[in-house]
Structure formats: C-alpha cells, structure tokens
Chains A and B, each alone.
Chain A
Amino acid sequence: MENEDLVELRNVRKAFGEVVALDNVTFSVKKREIHGLLGENGSGKTTLMNILYGLYSPDKGEIYFEGKGVKIPSPFDSIRLGIGMVHQASTLVPEFTATENIILGTEGDKYSLPLDREREKIKEISKNLGVKFPLNIKVKELSAGIKQKIEIIRALYRGAKLLILDEPTTSLVESEFQELLKSLKALLNSGVTIIFITHKIKEALQACDRVTVLRRGRVQGIEKREDTNKEKLVKLMFMEKEIRVTESALPKVELPPCKKSKDPVLILKNVTVEGGEKSIGLHNVSFEVYGGEILGIASVSGNGEKELAEITINPYKIKNGDILISGKSIKNHETLDVFANRVFYTPEDRIKEGVLPEGSIKENILLGHHAKERFIRNNIFINWEEARKAAVDVIKNYNVMTPTEELAIRRLSGGNIQKVIIGRAFVSPINLLVTHNPTSGLDISTVEFIFKKLVETRNSGSAVLWINEDLDELMIISDRIAILHKGELKEIFERESFDKYKIGLLMIGG
C-alpha cells in the first residue's frame, strides 16, 4: 500500500511560444509522502504543478491519479479529484474572515449560508491537524504564517488528498517554517500526500522524503532524503555552473580583506522614530557604516528594520537624533536630495515598492535617477537616450533575460526584476547602498550574484548597509552584524566573533 503511486505525470511537454517550459517530464508521487520539487526560478516547477492543478493543459503527456488516467481541464476538476493547491501569494480575500474564505466557492445550502455549521467542521479539521487560528477575524489582520494555514485548511475542507504547496516558505520566518513542518507531519499522518515546491535546498532536505530536481524543464534526478546531500542537489540543480555552498546550502562567497575608510560614510546618532499602531519605531539607535565594509542588520521582521530602511531615504521621519552622510547632516532632506548625496536604495518588497510594473525596463532604470544631471536637461526634459543607454548597460552587465529595454518589467521573472532593481542602484556612482532583503525568494545562483555584487561594492570602497532577516546569509559576507530588537540596537559583532547562537538569541530578545 505504502509504495503505491498517488499521482503520476508521464512524458509531459509544455511550450509557451518558442520557450519549452517542460520537456518530456515524468514525475510521480507515492501515497503518504512529502515529495519535494526542487529547481531554480524558471526551471518549470510551477508550470508542472499548474498542469496538475488544471490551470494549464499540457501539449503532450498523460496524468494518472490513483492509478487511473485522468484529464484535468480546470481547477474544478482537480479539486473534484482531491487535489488542493496553496499558491505562493495569498489568494484569500483580505476583507473576509477565515471561515468565509474557507467556504468561499463551495456549494452551500440553496438559500442560506450555513456559517455556524461549517465553522464547526473547520474547527474539527484544524484540531486534527493541531493548528489554531481565529475564525472570525478579517484575514487582513492576520500574519502570513496564519494565512497559509488557512489556505491549507481550505484545501482540506474541500477534501484534498494531495496538497501542492508552491514555495510555501517565501513569506515565513524561521519559527513559522518549523511550525509548518509540524503541520505537514500531522497531515501526513492523517493520510494526505504533499508536494512541496521550493528552490531552497536546505528546506527540501528538511521537509521532504523524496526530491525530484528540475532544471530547464527536464527532470535531473529523483533523490531519497537518506541517500542525498546538499552537494548532490546543487549539482543536479546547476549542472554546468560551479556554485560552492555553505553548511546551510547558501552560496559561498569570499570576503577578502578590505581597507575601511577613515571616516564613516553613514552615521546615525541617537535616532528615534515614533512607533505607531503597526510599527515599533526606533529608539535611540546609533551606529556608523564605513566605506569598504558591509554592515549587516539582523532582526526578526517587525523589530524596527523597516523603519531603519525607511529613514535612510526619508530622513524627515526622524523625531530625535541625527543622520549624516559623508559628514553632512541629511535630516529633513527629501529622498531625491539623499540620492543626490550618492546614496541608493533597494526596498524589501520588490514588486510593491521596487518597480513600476507596467513601465518599461528603461523607465524603471530611470526611477530615482530622474532628477540627476545625466538624465535631465534644464530640470524639465528627460534625456531618454541616456536612460536607454543606462538600461542597456544594466541588461548587459547584470545578464537580465529580456529581448529589449522597452519590455514592460512585469513580464520579467522575479530574479530578473531584482537584477534590474540592483542594477539601478549602480547607475550613478554611490558611496552608500542601503538594501533590504535583496535575496528573498531568489534561487541560489541569483543569490550568489547578489552576494558578489555587494562584496564588489564594498571592495570598491563604498559602504553597504544590508538589512536582512536571514542570519545565515548575513554571516557569509558581513564585516559586522548589528542586532535590532524591539527598535533598539542590541550589539554589534565583529566578523571574528560571529556566533550564530549568540546573535540568534539576541534577535529574539534573549
């Protein structure tokens, strides 16, 4: 029984125009296992699962579910078969409660909405799974981790025997990931089979019983957890590319010795920012960042790191204290004045704050530089030819996969969008780069690229303020790490004395 296949996709092919997304892929999942689907961004993981879920139809190939050949023309059909999918981005209606979201789209009674009855059912399901969440609070008030649980419960409520999780950890913090793992084990015990899509080797090794590795639309290998290790998986994922990885399966990038500048580039002096309903603010934060160093800021999300990033570009939000760039106070300056002082910024949420989705790559490259001498005449007319040149340079130097700089940026993949955002930071010469979670959601080769770029920036004598929620990443290429907890700067560690345990403890207030 245990070794029977629940689902099998046989010789599946799917092309979008001239791009072959999946080429003769055969993929099978046994009953009651957590099966990882591992690959870089754009390797075909999501396409494969969208075929299984009925969002795309394959050009060729068959699907077998519980031993029978099936056709899945739409998600209705996959739900009917017992396939549930939790997408990478939340698909819940923010204004609805958990209960309303879960029963949405199912058939209720003819004329009434049996909320109370169904709520009991939902409670039952979540109790079996050992998860708890408020059923009567609007979903928009809840955290990403809880929203994900609601989506999982929704799939189970609809009778899912097979649950597909598409990059489920993208918006989770480490502790939420551990909780998710627990829930998955409970699910397994109740008889549900799970497909776990990820680009993170570490997670695949922690979560999955078996892993199928995809690369450029082809299956590279199927590995059992007992018989594999991260080196093997990296090799399968990246064949021709040589990527060295650390203990935690992150790219290993060297941090050569580098001479710090005599004077700091960025100084924060007793900076206080008022907290609000949703933000903790900053309390009396002081530190310096020198040219030729990367200062990492470690904090659990919601401990003031957002405000810290914010005040470097909007210093007028500082209530008390001072902020200096190259010895000059920029307090009360507008963002463009800050940029004029050779500072640039890449935001945490790249889609929401980083790009103009409908705008071309060229228009996006110009953003933030549009008041600089190179790109403007008489402070009125944009020099579009220069903007085009800058965009072409970024596309070339950062290996952005696009036919032209006129393409709307929303049509690029996440990794390529981030390359444009990072590339934009270096369009004008800078002394300070402030970057917030630049690697989140990206595959290991793009992460390696970004690490190298940060080190290169530091080696050239610029200062880098790197706010990041992943401590493992910070430890690889930071010269120093400062810990932010509840809006206060706890301690700054020098590279020689990095200690994951100590830093991690300080991050949670220990």
Chain B
Amino acid sequence: MKKSVKRTESSIIIRNVFAYFISVLLALGVMSVIILLFGFNVSKVLKTLLTASFRTSFGFQETIKKTIPLIFTTFAFTLPFKIKFFNTGGWGQMLFGATMVAVTGLFLSNSGITLPTYIIIPLLIIVGILAGGFFGLIAGFLTAKYNINPIISTIMLNFVGVQFLNFIATNSYFKDPLEGHPITLPLPKSATLGFFGGIPHSIIFAVVSVLFVYILIKKTRLGYEINAIGYNLDAAKTYGINFPRIIMLTFFIAGALGGLAGTFEVMNIHKKLVEGFALTSGAQYGTFGILTSLIVAGNPIGVPFSAFLMSVLLVGADALQRTMQVPVELVFLSQALIVLFIVIIRQRFERGR
C-alpha cells in the first residue's frame, strides 16, 4: 500500500511538470498567432523573448536581479493565501520597507552617525522587515478585529506606500539636490550590499527565505495552524487554534517578506530611493508576485522557479521593446496567457484525479 502512494506522489510531480510544459506551449502558440496579426516575425520575436536572459551574461544578471524581489513578493502573497486570504498588498509592503530603509540609512548619515557595516546592514534589514511587517500587520489586525477583507485594506495600503515613497523622495531633507528627478541622496557605502560578479548579494537572503518559508509551512506549529485554518476555519477554532493571533502573525510575516523585497532594492540595486521605482519595476514585483504564487499553487519550493520564469519573460519583454519595437503589452499578454493556461490545465488534471 505504502509503495503505491509514493508512486502516485512522484507521478503527480511528473504530471505537474508535464502540465506546465503544455501550458507554456499553448500560451506560446496563441501568442504566435497574435504576433503574426501584429505583423512581426514570429520566430524572431519568440527567440528574443525566450533567449534574452541566456544569450549574454548581462541578460542573465538582469534576470536574477528581478528574480530576487519576485521571490519575496511571491511569498508575501503565498502565506496568507494558505488561509484563503488575498494579500494584494505585497507592492505597498515592499515600498514601505524600501522607504523606511532609505529613511533610516539617510537619517543616520545626515546626522553624521557612522556605524560599522556589520551593524548598519543588519539594522537596515531589520528596519525593512519591521516596516513591511507593520504594513502587513495592519491588514491582519483589521481582519482579525473587524473582519475587513484584506483585499480592501491591502490595496488601500498600496496607495499609502506609493505616496509615502514619493513624499520621502521629494522631501528636501532626503532629496539629492544634484538630481533633477525626485531621488534621495545615496546611502552610505557601508550600508549597501555588493555583487558576486553581477549577481546581487541579496540572493543569499532570497535562498534563506525559501528555506524559511518551507520550514515554516512544513515543520512548525505556526505552519500547521495556518494550514488547519485554511482547510477548515470552524474545525481549527473548535480545536483551539487562535484565529485572530494566527492571521495577524501570518500577515506580519507576509508583510515582512514583502518589505525585504524593497529593502534589497534600496540596499543592493539602487543604493538610494528612486521615486520612479514605485510605478515601474516596483509595480511589477508587487503585482506579479500574485501570479508567480498562483502558478505554483503556493508551493514554496516551486516559487524560485516560477519567479525565474517570470523574470525571463520580463527581461525578454524589455529586449523585444528595445530591439524590435514590439509593444511591451504583447509580452504582458503572453504572461497572462501562460498563467491562465497553467491554472486551467492544473484544474483539469486535478479534476481527473
């Protein structure tokens, strides 16, 4: 008996991989038709889209740079989704984390306080965790206390996050007077992270976050309680699981992970706070985290892979726009198609069981 169960488990994995493969093929098929209708060369477009990340080391580095924040924002969505709640606020949590890290770093340097690297870096990371976590906690608290749907509260907080970032980036205390655009002064060098040959140091934290979420969900009491609530809230309550506490904790951790996405954007990529970030790549990371999570149905081990796939498409889209003047919307369309096909096909497979 035991053996057959093991076998079905591995066959499920094979089937899932197969399903993803089919979905991507179908999406590319539909996309080819659309590309053709737009009057572009299909094979050239697809080749650029799929290989931009791998042809040059620059392309690959760019892809990893996008994968890292996406992993964090994906987890920000994944955890609350386990209790059937939508955290649509990964974006705001990320921006608030980024902003508070910049504020703290610049406040220290503007005040003439210089801390050694081994203090300031952990300090800023903790600030980012707490800031993002705080944003998440607001949503969790409103749900626990007043039964407010987190979709509403987190979307509202996204606007707060965007405006607060703008406020800081344009504030004369923080703004870089030499820059024409609203951009803050750079962080002190001691507060920034470097690169392993083009790959940001923050990749270490991304890997740690995968392990952290995996262990949290599979091995800990909190993870068990989160799953139990997701399976059946009434039974979980009957057997002593404290719903308000768990939902607040879950949203805090989710927000903290979102906050880390912004933290490393500031400390590792921009090394300052850029107003444009909120609505460009920031918006991508914040919102695509939802898709990336749905693609792998919240499986933490799958998250880095789906984040990488999404980043390949994002980098490919940039390349298409630059080299072939293909409208970037076409690529977004293909991303939407891939997600849609994956969800449909997985549903079909699950019904078949």
Contact = CB atoms under 8 A, between A and B. Distances in A.
Interface of A: 313, 334-336, 338-339, 345, 347, 352-359, 363, 366-368, 370-371, 376, 379-382, 384, 403-404, 406
B224 to A, nearest CB: 5
B224 A404 contact: no
Contacts of B224: 363, 366, 370, 382
A389 to B, nearest CB: 15
Contacts of A338: 240
Given A366-B224, A381-B219, A353 B231 contact: no
A403 B238 contact: no
25 contacts: A335-B238, A336-B240, A345-B239, A347-B235, A352-B234, A353-B238, A354-B235, A355-B235, A356-B228, A356-B232, A356-B235, A357-B231, A359-B231, A363-B231, A367-B236, A368-B240, A370-B225, A380-B221, A380-B222, A381-B219, A382-B219, A382-B220, A382-B221, A384-B219, A404-B2
B1 interface: yes
A345 B219 contact: no
Interface residues of B, number: 22
A334 B220 contact: no
9 closest A-B pairs by beta carbon, nearest first, are A335-B240, A356-B231, A368-B239, A336-B240, A403-B1, A353-B238, A367-B239, A358-B231, A359-B231
A380 B231 contact: no
Given A336-B240, A380-B222, A404-B1, 9 more contacts: A335-B238, A345-B238, A355-B235, A359-B232, A363-B228, A367-B236, A380-B220, A382-B220, A404-B5
A376 B240 CA distance: 15
A230 B144 CA distance: 53
A358 B220 CA distance: 19
Contact of B5 (A334, A380, A406): A406
Contacts of B1: 403-404
B5 A403 contact: yes
B227 interface: yes
Interface string B217-258: 001111111011001101110111010000000000000000
A381 B240 CA distance: 18
A335 B221 contact: no
B323 interface: no
Given A353-B234, A356-B231, A371 B220 contact: no
Nearest to A336: B240
B5 A352 contact: no
B147 interface: no
A66 B305 CA distance: 61
A306 to B, nearest CB: 12
A368 B228 CA distance: 11
Contacts of A335: 238-240
A370 B238 CA distance: 13
B229 to A, nearest CB: 9
B280 interface: no
Interface string B1-19: 1101100000000000000
Interface of B: 1-2, 4-5, 219-225, 227-228, 231-232, 234-236, 238-240, 242
B236 to A, nearest CB: 7
A352 B233 CA distance: 9
B228 to A, nearest CB: 6
B239 to A, nearest CB: 4
Given A357-B232, A381-B221, A382-B220, A313 B227 contact: no
A363 B221 contact: no
Contacts of A371: 221, 240
A403 B5 CA distance: 9
Contacts of B240: 313, 334-336, 338-339, 368, 371
Contacts of B225: 370
B221 A376 contact: yes
A347 B231 CA distance: 17
A313 B238 contact: yes
B250 to A, nearest CB: 16
Contacts of A357: 231-232
Most B Cβ at <10 Å: residue of A353, A355, A367:
A367
A371 B236 CA distance: 13
B95 to A, nearest CB: 31
Given A403-B5, A404-B5, A379 B221 contact: yes
Nearest to A402: B1
A367 B227 CA distance: 11
Contacts of B232: 352, 355-357, 359
Contacts of B2: 404
Contacts of A370: 221, 224-225
A379 B224 CA distance: 12
A349 to B, nearest CB: 8
A366 B238 CA distance: 13
A363 B5 contact: no
B228 A334 contact: no
A355 B232 CA distance: 7
Given A363-B227, A403-B5, A354 B220 contact: no
Centre residue among B228, B238, B239 by max chain A CB count within 10 A: B239
A317 to B, nearest CB: 12
Contact of B238 (A347, A379, A384): A347
Nearest to B1: A403
B3 to A, nearest CB: 10
Contacts of B220: 380-382
A75 B217 CA distance: 43
B11 to A, nearest CB: 15
Contacts of A403: 1, 4-5
Contacts of A384: 219
Contacts of A347: 235, 238
A353 B221 contact: no
A431 to B, nearest CB: 17
A366 B2 CA distance: 21
B235 A352 contact: yes
Contacts of B219: 381-382, 384
A335 B242 CA distance: 9
Contacts of B235: 347, 352-356, 367
Contacts of A363: 224, 227-228, 231
Contacts of A355: 232, 235
Nearest to B231: A356
Nearest to A368: B239
Contacts of A356: 227-228, 231-232, 235-236
A357 B227 CA distance: 11
A353 B236 CA distance: 8
A384 B221 CA distance: 10
